[in-house]
Structure 1
Amino acid sequence: MTHADASSTDPSAHPGRPAAADPRRTEGVHPDHADLDRLPLGELLDVLTGDQLGAVQAAQAAAPALARAAAAALPRLQRGGRLLYVGAGTSGRLCVLDATELTPTFSWPPERAVPLIAGGERAIRSAVEGAEDDRAAGERDVQTTRIGPDDVLIGVAASGTTPYVLGALRAARQAGALTVGLSNNPDTPLLREAECGVLLDTGPEIISGSTRLKAGTAQKIALNSFSSALMVQLGKVYGNLMVDLRASNEKLEGRALRLVMHATGAGEADARAALLGASGQVKVAVVALRLGVSAAEATRRLDAAHGHARAALGEA
């Protein structure tokens, strides 16, 4: 008898009745490695890391759907809209992470990246019992943000059935916002109800049911790729250089200096002086050095080019 057979007939799992089959692939028992707990440590790590390749493959397969979602989101953000992220548990924490990192990475205003997690901020570190099952709370939390037609809500749930996320999605659609749904199971309510459904089909987990593994990894890749693509399209990147970073510590100040030097070919002293004149703004320093203009003139040209360095440099 296989491990899967044993689990489906084990009377201790549901005393007095057989276990019900769950149609969600993320809840299925992985067909391989039924003796995972007996593997030597090195082999165990090989199995766990190797299974993560499924996350990469799922995200790659979802790239066309992510592209359609980004294309729909871009004009809303160009009009001043916000990104709202909604999730519960692991998915919610990944939402918080992606929203939070947009500010230091791309100088995206924090008020334009709003993460909502079932159970509130306490749920970032601790499980909040029953929070993900509260559909009404999801609706209320989204309504509290005063969501509007130019906003983009990204709902993330491995199961695709999380009531909190579905409630948030409903409120967003009622307000006219664009809705994007990321689910690791096909044909789920989240994918059906979102305007832009993105399937991350990772299948059963190597530790059955633990969607913090490759399901979560696929979500992280998808969120990273989606938000980064939007930032590139919004002019936050020149070539492949992160020219809109916020240098908030010594490490990032050094990175800003190296970026200016790389983009302009300037020496360290000139790059440092340009950054100082640009109040630490890499993009302004790059345009000023490349065109031989003042920081004020570089800023004016960037504003006229809607923040796109390539256009401000006449390279578009």
Structure 2
Amino acid sequence: MFSLQCKQRPPNATSRANAIAGCASRAITGAVSGALLGLLCLSSFGCHTIGRITESKHTVAARRLSRQGLQAMRNGRWDQAEQLFGNALTVSQDDDRAHRGIAEAYWNRGDYDQAILHMEKAVELSGQEPRLVARLGEMYFITGRLDDAQQQGEIALAGDRESPQIWVLRGDCFQQRGNSREAMAAYHRALAIQPDLVAVKLKIADLYLESKQYDRLLATLDQFDPAADDSQMPTAVHMMRGIALRSLQRPELAVKHFAKAAEHDPNAAEPLLQIASIELSRGDAYAAHLAIERAAQRDQPLVQQTGWVDYMLSPQQVIALDPNRTGASSPLR
């Protein structure tokens, strides 16, 4: 009886054993899979972390080199600056400051195409930072790409309406297109933001000169510091003031300003020819001759090409008008 019971085990015992074994197997398999998945996750996290650390080190190194390049550029050491910015880009191509810096270095040595390429990259990496966009627009403008320059100006203005640089770019584009009204408005907006912009005042004065608004021209020129030493005044201020005064029938004052312009720029012949023109209109052929002679010493081709040589006196005429003169002939004769 006993042996029979041993041979005839309960019908569900084997099933329970198999179920237990299956559960154990699945548990072991799951544990192994989980462990492998965990290892893979840790490995992946570690790789990303290492990558970020490496990228961060490169970024820091590139920015340090860019700062050194910027300092060299400010000190006028352009070759050193270009090398430092180039080293920064070797470390990381994603440093917008390095692209901007090397663009300025290329621009300084006249490689405009490379300068523009790097400035375009700087604009892209900076997320279209308005000042960089405006600088790119200036480069386009100077190289004759007026449409591109104006487009960049509008983009920059949409991001920053308080930058005088951007308003000046807008004014330059409109002036180039012959729209003096819009150009004038842009220049005045730039001055409202930064009143000491000498170059912008000169641009406004030049627009008034072109339109023959001489009273407004003189009022604009009066904005230059009246207490300042005349020797520090831009030559263009004296030239434009002289033209305005002459047009307003004040030749004596006009001659004084043309003389100051000639004194400030020892290579300029135009102020002297303006004086010669006034002297001829007043009937003083000898004073006109002296002015033309001095102009010829500075720029003989200009005097010849513009026909002023025909108004010079012969040696005999000079002696007749000025007995103290030696009679030496003009370099144009």
TM over 0.5: no
The structure whose residues are more often helix, as a share, is 2
Structure of higher CA gyration radius: 2
TM-score calculated relative to the size of structure 2? 0.22
The structure whose residues are more often strand, as a share, is 1
